[in-house]
Amino acid sequence: MENSHISALQAKHAGIEARIKAETSRPMPDPVLLATLKKRKLRVKEEISSSH
């Protein structure tokens, strides 16, 4: 059960990373959206670390 939870978190982390890369590649990235995504990514990363 725990492995599937960690896998789901890792997939979520990768999805957020992809959204950040897509946003930064735009001509005028939205700084508020980027900040929100980065905070969300950090929370997921912390949850992954605490699950190990």
pLDDT tens-place string over residues 22-41: 999 999 999 999 999 999 99
Inter-CA distances, 5 with 11, 14, 33, 38, 48, Å? 10, 14, 26, 21, 9
Domains in the chain: boundaries: 2-51
SS3 call for 33: helix
Residue 52 confidence (pLDDT): 72
* pTM for the full predicted model: 0.88
pLDDT for residue 2: 83
